[in-house]
Structure 1
């Protein structure tokens, strides 16, 4: 735990007692703040009380004494409407912050030399965060990974000048961190997502940009127009920026040429790492992730040769193009983290013949944008609320089967993949949807896929579960 001592003795209101919210409440209390917590879910309130936290409806407290409202990132700050706790704070002139902001303040307070690598982007940020952490540990550094990737940031090991904190940041978290000041700020890409929470693509992009604009060194993907414009604004502000690309050369930074990472500097381009044969970094999108990780460690002054060697031992990220089993020619791939079409595109681009399991709670735009990949899909097995809409999009282009549930889809896809004469085929769960119609989160969906795969006779026969 990282106790938040910089607010010691102050009255703090906290709303939202999910995983990160409860972690933040503990850290504030441990640091000596007088914290009052609340949540709209009575069970969460009772759980907080059971831990000895002061839980009082924030509509009943004296806001004139409150120094800050700490808001859990899942609670609406602006759109579609501010949460009632936000409105109360605004009415009383109380600042509204989140756990990332508390970490940044405590870091400045206690361990100003501790390095922080913060990562954001619409897609790829979890893989990049995990890869950076792996590389740092492989090179002998004490790397702490948390934030949006699963471990609340204030649950990490106590602040120390010797540690490197690798933090995945969602747009929600950045919006609540006005003092975010990473050593290296990484922005990967932008595509429409969470617009219900930010109102417009322009607002969404502006929030993402804050992470790199306030960093000491920026690493910025330039493969989409809005992100390229962010890099240009870094130039105009005379701020150091490493450009990264999976599509072609950049003037100063790291880029992908085939399976080779290239580095451009001072007019020279030379190879720095070969990704060929690293299954966990398969595909151009993972080339961008690897480029971001490579640039980040170079920005910290680490040796390129050592970084390149450490890439080869990366074990991958759970639920992101995760090979869960191999049965002869059939690869069973868990890409449950692909909760929108753009994320699914990254997996679809990485295999040549695909038996695709897709569907769930649909997001705006559906899967029409994936039409370039339809020729690679031997058949689609559709589940959840989106099944019929996806079937309509695929009609006349891809054979489909309405399976309804994930377990049925796995059985059907394995059956058809086994009859395919191709040298290699992939049974790919890459839903292009949120999980919330049938599963509480994408992790549970991925775990259900893995269990269904392990139960298949063809997998048990080959005993090649990864």
Structure 2
């Protein structure tokens, strides 16, 4: 745990008692703040109370006494409209902060020479894999790396701050919205495509939230930006023109004259101006597909910026065990392979999986995003058949009608059974059943992890031989 002493002896409100909220409450309590925690969910309150976290109904408190409101990132800050407690805080001039901001202030309070290294990673897709990959490389190189934030462990539940530690943090747009003080030694932006637009008031608000990862960087810091979409290209040019942090461009589509490229799986380092082939990512079996080439290039560039040797970085890339719920090979039944890509909660993420496999039995559906699956139409010819689950089933069926074979199965268990039967009877060699929903999970599951775990359990119950080598997000 990282104790937060900034509010010692003062009253602090904590709203939202999920993973990050509980971590914040524990850290504030350890720093001798008077914590007043609340969640509208009774089960969440009970869990907090069992941990000894003081509960107080913030709807009935006198807000003049609070030094800060620590807000969980899932609670609306500005859009579609501020949460009622955010409005109360604003009316009483109580600062609203998040767990990452508390972490950033704790780091800034340390002497300059005694601060740990901070590596922040954001992007619409790929940030969990890239965060875990950077952490893996650093650990393989003998560095004390702590991985958390939006992945696995809440940042304030990570081990205490010290000068030789490296904190590798996945940062969502929700978390970045609550950040003012964070300074990353190395910041990574992977890609930007429409997502969470209701929470940010549109595309501009979403992009602006992502860009906050670069706000406090200074000369000597590094911004790693994948320039494979128009948003990141613009951001890279803007940052380079400001001349503060060093900008390293990476790409899985373009051979860069200066930067890091991963073209057709071949990794090239041209940071010094002349392209040097580092290695072939075919030797990294858990990083298939162009999107993972981008992740690998970004992780490589970040670790090079930290001064690590190119050969050691690439060696660590090849031993990466993969990430749970992201193109995770979880089992095999009668030659039929099952791939868990539950983390693909939008069409852009699902596209990466469909690109990686020439023919699949595709399980999709859940709570649909605004764009649906229409952006995936160029890949419908890769579908042996689609199995549609959850709220999106009827809408997805309309999109697929006349373009690909499909079946409305509604439930995940029914989808897996139908896909297994069809794949087993297809006569194809090693057919693939792919769960890549292109949807949120909340209609049938708590989150994408619960959906992916259910997929793995059903496969195992059907007699699947488990073949997973993935890295758990909670590791």
Distance 2:366 2:52 in 1: 39
Stretch of structure 1 that moved more, 49-58 or 99-108: 49-58
Task: Tell me if the contact between 2:3 and 2:28 (Cα under 8 Å) persists in the aligned partners.
Answer: yes
- 1:256 equivalent to 2:245? Answer no
For residue 158 of structure 1, the aligned residue among 157, 160, 167 is 160
Corresponding residue of 2:214: 212
For structure 2, the residue ranges without an aligned partner over 5 or more in a row are 470-475
Instruction: Provide Cα deviations, 1:30-70, integer angstroms capped at 9, x if missing partner.
Output: 01112222222234334434433332222333333322111
Corresponding residue of 1:233: 238
Task: Tell me if the contact between 2:258 and 2:274 (Cα under 8 Å) persists in the aligned partners.
Answer: no
Q: Per the alignment, in what secondary structure is the counterpart of residue 330 of structure 2?
A: strand
Corresponding residue of 2:324: 318
Q: Per the alignment, in what secondary structure is the counterpart of residue 117 of structure 1?
A: strand
Task: Tell me if the contact between 2:285 and 2:318 (Cα under 8 Å) persists in the aligned partners.
Answer: no
Stretch of structure 1 that moved more, 104-113 or 210-219: 104-113
Instruction: Provide Cα deviations, 1:344-393, integer angstroms capped at 9, x if missing partner.
Output: 00000001111101111111110000011111111101111111111111
Q: Per the alignment, in what secondary structure is the counterpart of residue 55 of structure 1?
A: coil
- 1:299 equivalent to 2:295? Answer no
Task: Tell me if the contact between 1:110 and 1:159 (Cα under 8 Å) persists in the aligned partners.
Answer: no
Distance 1:285 1:8 in 2: 45
Structure 1 residue 464: Cα displacement: 5.6
Q: Cα 1:130–1:43, aligned 2, differ >3 Å: closer, same or farther?
A: same
Task: Tell me if the contact between 1:332 and 1:428 (Cα under 8 Å) persists in the aligned partners.
Answer: yes
Flag as ranges the 4+ runs of structure 1 deviating above 4 A. 463-466
Count of residue correspondences: 463
Structure 1 residue 115: Cα displacement: 0.5
Q: Per the alignment, in what secondary structure is the counterpart of residue 255 of structure 2?
A: coil
Distance 1:409 1:370 in 2: 20
Q: Per the alignment, in what secondary structure is the counterpart of residue 241 of structure 1?
A: strand
Corresponding residue of 2:472: none
Distance 2:359 2:228 in 1: 26
Structure 1 residue 129: Cα displacement: 0.6
Distance 1:205 1:103 in 2: 23
Task: Tell me if the contact between 1:274 and 1:308 (Cα under 8 Å) persists in the aligned partners.
Answer: no
After TM superposition, the structure 1 = structure 2 runs for residues 265-344 of structure 1, keeping only pairs within 5 Å, are: 265-327=271-333, 329-344=335-350
Q: Cα 1:255–1:465, aligned 2, differ >3 Å: closer, same or farther?
A: closer
Distance 2:229 2:94 in 1: 37
Q: Per the alignment, in what secondary structure is the counterpart of residue 348 of structure 1?
A: helix
- 1:125 equivalent to 2:127? Answer yes
Structure 1 residue 441: Cα displacement: 0.8
Distance 2:87 2:332 in 1: 53
Stretch of structure 1 that moved more, 440-449 or 420-429: 420-429
Distance 1:64 1:454 in 2: 55
Corresponding residue of 1:353: 359
Distance 1:312 1:289 in 2: 13
Stretch of structure 1 that moved more, 243-252 or 17-26: 243-252
For residue 413 of structure 1, the aligned residue among 411, 419, 422 is 419
Instruction: Provide Cα deviations, 1:71-92, integer angstroms capped at 9, x if missing partner.
Output: 1111110001101111011111
Corresponding residue of 1:88: 88
Corresponding residue of 1:423: 429
Task: Tell me if the contact between 2:330 and 2:339 (Cα under 8 Å) persists in the aligned partners.
Answer: yes
Task: Tell me if the contact between 2:364 and 2:435 (Cα under 8 Å) persists in the aligned partners.
Answer: yes
Q: Per the alignment, in what secondary structure is the counterpart of residue 36 of structure 2?
A: strand
Corresponding residue of 2:76: 76
- 1:176 equivalent to 2:178? Answer yes
Q: Per the alignment, in what secondary structure is the counterpart of residue 156 of structure 2?
A: helix
> How well do the aligned residues superpose, as a CA RMSD in angstroms?
1.6
**TM-score, scaled relative to structure 1:** 0.96
For structure 1, the residue ranges without an aligned partner over 5 or more in a row are none
Task: Tell me if the contact between 1:174 and 1:180 (Cα under 8 Å) persists in the aligned partners.
Answer: no
Instruction: Provide Cα deviations, 1:389-430, integer angstroms capped at 9, x if missing partner.
Output: 111111111100111111111111111112233334211000
Distance 2:33 2:258 in 1: 45
Distance 2:93 2:105 in 1: 20
**TM-score, scaled relative to structure 2:** 0.94
Structure 1 residue 212: Cα displacement: 2.4
Distance 1:329 1:243 in 2: 41
Stretch of structure 1 that moved more, 210-219 or 22-31: 210-219
Corresponding residue of 1:109: 109
Corresponding residue of 2:387: 381
